[in-house]
Structure 1
């Protein structure tokens, strides 16, 4: 079932989500200061391409630096990415067929809000 849902996800726009996060990550990695943020974009890209069958967990040993980076991320971009995923989730939630996709967008929204100190794992 995960395979089928992931294929449908890719067809209806998952590839675009992946592409946006990869391009953003590559642009951020052009500077030394942007590398930690670029790595988080790559984490989001992986989840954005194949979200079904994956879960977000807290990373062991999360640091105060990660917390500060999350605050900076939220202020600069995280809130807007979070709101866009929530908006898309609301549109998908209007139909019964779209509910599984809405849940995946909420999962992406939560990771996009504060990605530092989180890991994406297979269920």
Structure 2
């Protein structure tokens, strides 16, 4: 299954991962420049690396995430989350136009909730293959 994940990650990187990672990195840079929003910048950089190589990894909610991450997610949603969610949606449209791009378009849509509320989540390795099998 690792070979399949490798192939999917390489194709993902070529078709949309690189561009989405740049979008997250730009959001991270803007957040770090504003000093007070450095925690948001760190989350954006973490997600940028996830966007580069997502297959074989997933995000899960941290059980110890408290009210601060909830408040932070609201602030993130207003200032950066919805822009990134729109980016995922717009990137998925051309992917759905080709047969090879359909799984990547679907994966892009599945990342919208993570782009809207990244705080209180962590990226973990998974033993499951593509599609949860």
TM range (shorter): 0.7 to 0.9
Report what 1:46 is aligned to: 49
Q: In the alignment, is the contact (CA less than 8 A) between 1:44 and 1:108 conserved in 2? A: no
Tell me by how many angstroms 1:38 deviates: 0.1
The secondary structure found in structure 2 opposite 1:119 is strand
Work out whether 1:9 is the aligned partner of 2:1.
no
Name the residue aligned to 2:88: 85
Counterpart Cα distance in 2 of 1:116 and 1:74: 10
Matches for 1:89-104 after TM superposition, within 5 Å = 89-104=92-107
Q: 1:3 to 1:10 in 2, by over 3 A?
A: same
The 3-state SS of whatever aligns with 2:59 is strand
Post-superposition shift, 1:35?
0.5
- RMSD (Å), alpha carbons: 1.7
Counterpart of 1:58 in structure 2 is: 61
Matched-pair contact (CA < 8 Å) for 1:28–1:37: yes
Q: Tell me the TM-score normalised to structure 1 length.
A: 0.87
Q: Say which SS state the counterpart of residue 123 (structure 2) adopts.
A: strand
Q: TM-score, length-normalised on structure 2?
A: 0.81
CA apart distance, 1:21: 1.9
